[in-house]
Amino acid sequence: MSALFPALAVPSDRPALRCGADTLTYVELARAAGSLAVRIGGADRVAVWATPSAHTAVAVVAALLAGVPAVPLNPRTGERELAHILGDSTPGAVLAGPEDVLPAGLAGLPRIDVELTPTTGPSLAEPDDAESPALIVYTSGTTGPPKGVVLSRRAVAASLDALAEAWAWTADDVLVHALPLFHVHGLILGILGPLRRGGEVRHLGAFSVEGVERELGAGGTMLFGVPTMYHRIADALGGDAGLVKALAGARLLVSGSAALPVHDHERITAATGRTVVERYGMTETLMNTSVRPGGEPRPGTVGTPLADVGLRLVDEDGSVLSPLDGETVGEVQVRGPNLFSGYLNRPDATAAAFDGDWFRTGDMAVREADGAVRLVGRKATDLIKSGGYKIGAGEIENALLDHPGIREAAVTGEPDPDLGERIVAWVVAEDASAPPAEAELVDHVAGLLAPHKRPRVVRYLDALPRNDMGKILKKALPAAR
């Protein structure tokens, strides 16, 4: 297969990456990544302490140049989740910025500091095995600990190239975003995407409306965000002429990771004349569909399948649904070169995830007359989309049950105008006369897992509704209040 980063083979002085005060041209990126690639060459896997920084970008590019699978680590992951990921993926070292303070859970791994300005850096030929693992990204399921999704070089290249075709994405584009760099949206699309094209990426470090306005106003052509970010942008448009001008001047505004509410679509379009493009993907599939820029606004849809992506809707009995009527609901199944290679160390879970060569997404959708996909919800009720994250209820329930004051726990999502969905914990206390305080439970979960997985609301019940088999009836929880 062709190189993932052609621009690094013949590096130039064109800007490649800017994050905060750190700026790298393609020559500097090639030198920094090449130097680090030599240091990690031969390792089975490396973990990357994935802060929103240039160090993370250099570390992942270096791993890809060396042919060493990278395991991005969320710096806000709790001790239990971190221990599971390290035990499952067994990295040989952790790559981190020189100033990064690492948790005790990483003390047993050799640390390799990522340098941005080495004096020399060799030119390396990228591996040419398309099926070799590029990244192992951990994703939450509905039950149990996160699973490691093995993504090949083939899957990364195919998905990025399909997006380039759909969005007319070229080396002339300057991408602006503030997404976390430990998952697909921020890292693969937001960092590797521009670098594969030979363009520029400007990472804000942390999201702010002011940062979006500044970078789009200074030559940015594309903006990637999640609905929570666009909701805050929409709120600010009414009194900020500079922000309106910056968004109106962008070539492409893309929202992903969850559905963007129609109201926010309408507010942004009314103020700027620009339509926010939505796309649909998962960690296991990378990108499946996208709305094409330049067409009529289609709030509520995630567009049509990308090049080489097969997509079908399947009924509960396994039969394939063919109507393009905007009404017939089925589970989305996909196949194509964008799919993952399997779950690390989980052949059982990998087999269960496929129907032949079709991946079962668990998402329910309808298709419009032109083939556009409109997602309508999850097949199960246990995956929560909050603030751009996909969060499994099971691991939060397990964390709640670890608190000595909790006897029973269930977790659901409910609509939130800012986050998309907020996490709601339903708990039964060991001592109903003195239940643990809400703040105590919230902090307990955040400490074990990650802050974005903490409940936003805790509701106390005398008992959880269950069926005859003892299974919690989550759909009955609102009525149990």
| For residue 349, pLDDT beyond 70 | yes
d(CA 93, CA 86): 10
Query: Rounded to an integer, what is the distance from CA 290 to the centroid of its chain?
Result: 16
pLDDT one-digit tens code per residue, 231-265:
899 999 998 999 999 999 999 999 998 778 788 88
| For residue 164, pLDDT beyond 80 | yes
| For residue 463, pLDDT beyond 60 | yes
**What CA–CA distances, in Å, run from 195 to 15, 36, 160, 270?**
10, 17, 10, 33
Query: Average pLDDT, stretch 109-132?
Result: 88
pTM: 0.84
d(CA 228, CA 256): 10
For residues 347 and 340, the answer to whether their CB atoms sit within 8 Å is no
The pLDDT score that the predictor gives to residue 113 is 97
Structural domains of the chain in order of their starting residue, each with its CATH number:
6-373 (3.40.50.12780), 383-480 (3.30.300.30)
Query: Average pLDDT, stretch 220-237?
Result: 93
Q: Is residue 376 within a helix (H) or strand (E), and if so which, with residue range?
A: strand 373-378
- Report the candidate in 417, 420, 352 with the shortest Cα–Cα distance to residue 390: 420
For 386, the 3-state DSSP assignment is strand
Residue 28's pLDDT band (cuts 50, 70, 90): very high
pLDDT one-digit tens code per residue, 75-101:
999 999 999 999 999 999 999 999 999
Q: Is residue 475 within a helix (H) or strand (E), and if so which, with residue range?
A: none
Query: Average pLDDT, stretch 156-171?
Result: 98
Q: Mean pLDDT for the chain?
A: 92
Beta-strand runs (E) in 20-107: 22-25, 46-49, 70-73, 94-96
Query: Average pLDDT, stretch 133-150?
Result: 86
**Rounded CA Rg of the chain:** 22
The pLDDT score that the predictor gives to residue 469 is 40
| For residue 381, pLDDT beyond 70 | no
Q: Is residue 156 within a helix (H) or strand (E), and if so which, with residue range?
A: helix 153-167
The pLDDT score that the predictor gives to residue 243 is 97
Residue 145's pLDDT band (cuts 50, 70, 90): confident
The pLDDT score that the predictor gives to residue 472 is 79
**What CA–CA distances, in Å, run from 141 to 49, 146, 172, 294, 349?**
22, 6, 38, 36, 11
The pLDDT score that the predictor gives to residue 368 is 93
The pLDDT score that the predictor gives to residue 332 is 96
Residue 111's pLDDT band (cuts 50, 70, 90): very high
Query: Average pLDDT, stretch 348-369?
Result: 94
Residue 468's pLDDT band (cuts 50, 70, 90): very low
Percent of the chain at pLDDT exceeding 90: 74
| For residue 318, pLDDT beyond 70 | yes
**What CA–CA distances, in Å, run from 122 to 30, 70, 125?**
8, 20, 10
| For residue 276, pLDDT beyond 90 | yes
Query: Average pLDDT, stretch 310-329?
Result: 91
The pLDDT score that the predictor gives to residue 261 is 77
